Amino acid sequence: MAVMQHRKVSGVSGNEIYCLHKLGMTPGQLCLGNSVVAIGVGKGLGAGLSTLGGGEVEEVTRLVHEGRMRAFDRAMEEAARYGGAGLTGVSFDMVRHGGNLEFITTGTTAHTANEKPGGRARQFSTSADAQEFFCQVDAGFMPLHFAFGNVAYSIGVGRSITGGFRTLMRGEVPQYSQIFDHTRRLALERIVEDAKRFKANAVVGIETTISPLLGAQEMMMIGTASHHPLLDEYRSNPVTSDMTSQEMWNMVHIGYMPVQLVMGVSVYSLGLAGGIFAALKSVAGGEIAGLTEILYEAREKALARIEQAAEECGADEVVGVKTKVYDLGSGLVEFMAIGTAVKKMPGAQTRSPALPPQAIIQDRDTFVDSTQGLNLNARRAASATKVQGGPLAIIGAVFVGIFYLIMLVLGH
Q: What is the pTM of this model?
A: 0.80
Per-chain mean pLDDT for the chain: 80
Least confident interval from 24-28, 61-65, 160-164, 190-194: 160-164
Helices (H), 87-173: 130-138, 157-166
298-327 burial: b if 16+ Cβ within 10 Å, else e: bbebbbebbbebbeeeebeebbbbeebebe
d(CA 100, CA 94): 10
In this predicted structure, what is the pLDDT of residue 412? Answer: 54
In this predicted structure, what is the pLDDT of residue 58? Answer: 85
CA distances, 127 to each of 1, 28, 130, 297 (Å): 26, 16, 10, 36
Per 3-state DSSP, the chain is made up of helix, strand and coil in percentages (nearest 5) of 40, 30, 25
Q: Which tens digit of pLDDT belongs to each residue from 195-246?
A: 999 999 999 999 999 888 877 788 899 999 999 999 999 999 999 999 999 9
Q: Which tens digit of pLDDT belongs to each residue from 263-290?
A: 998 988 766 444 444 444 454 555 556 6
In this predicted structure, what is the pLDDT of residue 194? Answer: 97
In this predicted structure, what is the pLDDT of residue 380? Answer: 40
Q: Please report which confidence band the pLDDT of residue 113 belongs to, taking 50, 70 and 90 as the band edges.
A: confident
Q: Which tens digit of pLDDT belongs to each residue from 285-337?
A: 555 566 677 778 888 999 999 999 999 999 999 999 998 887 766 667 788 89
Asked whether 153 and 56 are in contact (CB, 8 A), the reply is yes
Q: Which tens digit of pLDDT belongs to each residue from 81-98?
A: 888 899 999 999 999 888
In this predicted structure, what is the pLDDT of residue 180? Answer: 78
Percent of the residues in the chain that have a pLDDT greater than 90, as a whole number: 50
Is residue 10 over pLDDT 90?
A: no
Is residue 381 over pLDDT 50?
A: no
The arithmetic mean of pLDDT across residues 182-188, rounded, is: 87
In this predicted structure, what is the pLDDT of residue 325? Answer: 84
Which residues in 155-197 belong to E strands, given as ranges?
A: 171-172
- Single out the residue of 91, 104, 93, 90 nearest to residue 36, CA to CA: 104
Three-state SS at 110: strand
Residue-range domain boundaries for the chain: 14-155+173-260+345-362+372-411
Is residue 42 over pLDDT 80?
A: no
Residue with the larger pLDDT of the pair 61 and 257: 257
- Single out the residue of 223, 254, 207, 245 nearest to residue 360, CA to CA: 245
Which residues in 293-376 belong to E strands, given as ranges?
A: 317-329, 332-344
Q: Please report which confidence band the pLDDT of residue 408 belongs to, taking 50, 70 and 90 as the band edges.
A: low
